[in-house]
Structure 1
């Protein structure tokens, strides 16, 4: 497709990521389908405690070391000292109710073998209440609605992501952060710290904060996405995804220049986004993007 010749911003997709199990490691892809809830298979599974509450790297940093790998019909999960665990795309189990940020969500239990795998992998350093973990799959028949406060009148859905189906950042934003880290005597960090779905190249640092709906030229037509809410950052970017060790220099550095008045001064990096058009189309690394500035 040919994008409009006149636009304030011209960029391209530089990286695409999915995180099949919420808070575990991600997979970098060259192409992926855009679905009503975000990118295909993103945050489709989640680890919960014995009460059904979601568990992340905030409580169990070793989740960063669990790496999904595509196999025929699903994924394999790999972790240090553990035999691989197979997750099939269409696996089904008993229905149960779980909670994500205070929302109750219908899910499907992935069985005792998966529960034991996660409990063995993550339970050694966990408080007692986190030693009985279970893995759940998002119920395909459920709907989890994104906050209408931010979606500008558009109805949007997500699965087990924190609140929105897509997270967008830019290579320039990471370059700026790493320059500031270097000034403080700290080593650079990778984009994987911030767990985005889409990384844009060809724009200035944090331009993703202020563009309006942006259009991607796909082989099937144009897809339109909208960056609707700044992403407030918890301590997870302080966790090194290669070692699961935490130190505070990332949060400390962001605190010096990324306090966002739209969220009451919270530290932000990247933008939550929703899909407006192009569901079912395939996003690919290298596809061109255009947008105009947002002034509202």
Structure 2
């Protein structure tokens, strides 16, 4: 059975998301999702793509509005019912839509928190932005989202990606609205018509991913992953695809735990991403399990980096895993535990560890000069 496992809304476009147990499906998407947006002093919308520090602003839902939190600036409450002001035109990519400025006081707070000039705008109920009519029916609308009201991703798809990654990533890198469990990896690609809690959704378009996915949502630090790995097997028409955008027909409430039923599937070529052989699937993964209470995180991270650098071509990545067992520190290659601090009674030197890993993953090859130099 396919089952909704997570639901997210993003009240202010490109700021932190909010996990919810239940969500009202309105005409333009999940209630409160991307009804607010930040623009620069010229009225152009801004996102984490250019300003990754936006990830550090976290939102939460209150009974009377949205609270935005920042570790240095404190909190700001943005009420649901704001003072009505004249509508003005704003652009989201190629779309022109209408919104209103909210408050100069809020603008000052947000500008200070982000260390750049910005203004907050809101999309009132009488502002309707149509979804691209090439992929939706007339009258279907959305908010300040990039293009569509919903993004659907299967947990199996993230699990498959993480098996290919040097280090696993959380789902928040991909900013979905609906996550489901069950089924095969990337099964969402082919979902044409589905129902959740009596609400009908249609698969509109595979989601092309951008640099925003490379931003750590807790630290705002950019890296190369996951785009580097995704580009090796999820390319379609020179775009990296992960997840499917949805549109819908009716309204109601969906909840974590609801069944997702697939009524029909896509057959069009634009929904089919050619499968590539995963040459890493036969390579083992190095797993370093450490006790987070024993101040071993830095040592584990150092070892992970050394092993990943040395054995890039021989293993399918290195995974750091905090242990639930106090005092546990182990290093495994695949299913075999090479080192167990409690069993062996000591920490291995990095030279000893590298040779043990080499004997396991590529026994016919000795450590190179550069490997010895780093010991």
SS in 1 for 2:74: coil
Contact 1:92 1:109 (8 Å CA) reproduced: no
| In 1, Cα distance between equivalents of 2:106 and 2:241 | 34
Q: Give aligned pairs, total.
A: 266
- Structure 2, unpaired ranges of 5+: 269-375
**Would you say the 8 A contact 1:226–1:273 is kept in 2?**
yes
Relative contact order higher in (CA < 8 Å, ≥ 6 apart): 1
* Contact 1:93–1:111, Cα closer than 8 Å, also in 2: no
| Structure 1 residue 283 corresponds to structure 2 residue 263 | no
1:250-288 deviation per Cα after TM superposition (whole angstroms, max 9, x unaligned): 11001001112xxx22101111101123x1x11000111
Q: Which residue of 2 aligns with 1:232?
A: 208
Q: Secondary structure at the match of 1:98?
A: strand
RMSD: 1.2
Give secondary structure in 1 for the equivalent of 2:151.
strand
1:105 matched to 2:77? The reply is no
Task: Give every structure 1 segment of 4 or more consecutive aligned residues whose post-TM-superposition deviation is greater than 6 Å.
Answer: none
Give the strand-richer structure, 1 or 2: 1
Residue 255 of structure 1: aligned partner? 231
Aligned-pair distance for 1:15?
A: 0.6
TM-score by length of 1: 0.87
Selected match of 2:246 from 273, 276, 280: 273
Larger Rg: 2
**What 5-or-longer segments of structure 1 have no aligned partner?**
1-9, 124-130
1:138-183 alpha-carbon deviations (Å, 9 max, x no partner): 13211100001112x45311010000011110100100110000xx
Task: Find the counterpart in structure 1 of residue 36 from structure 2.
Answer: 45
Q: Secondary structure at the match of 2:249?
A: strand
Q: Deviations over 1:178-198 (max 9, x none)?
A: 0000xxxx2111000000000
Q: What is the correspondence of 1:140-159 to structure 2 with a 5 Å cutoff?
A: 140-151=125-136, 153-159=137-143
What is the alpha-carbon distance in structure 1 between the residues aligned to residue 242 and residue 195 of structure 2?
Answer: 21
TM-score, length-scaled by structure 2: 0.69
More helix by share: 2
SS in 1 for 2:59: strand
Q: Distance in 1 between matches of 2:85 and 2:117?
A: 17
Q: How far apart in 2 are the matches of 1:252 and 1:112? A: 41
**Could you tell me which residue of structure 2 aligns to residue 3 of structure 1?**
none
In structure 1, C-alpha distance between the alignment counterparts of 2:82 and 2:231, rounded to whole Å:
42
For 1:286 and 1:168, locate their aligned partners in 2 and report how far apart those are by CA, in whole Å: 15
Bigger drift between 89-98 and 111-120 goes to 89-98
Aligned to 1:29: 20
Matched position secondary structure for 1:117: helix
Looking at structure 2, the residues matched to 173 and 155 of structure 1 have their Cα atoms a distance apart, in angstroms, of 31
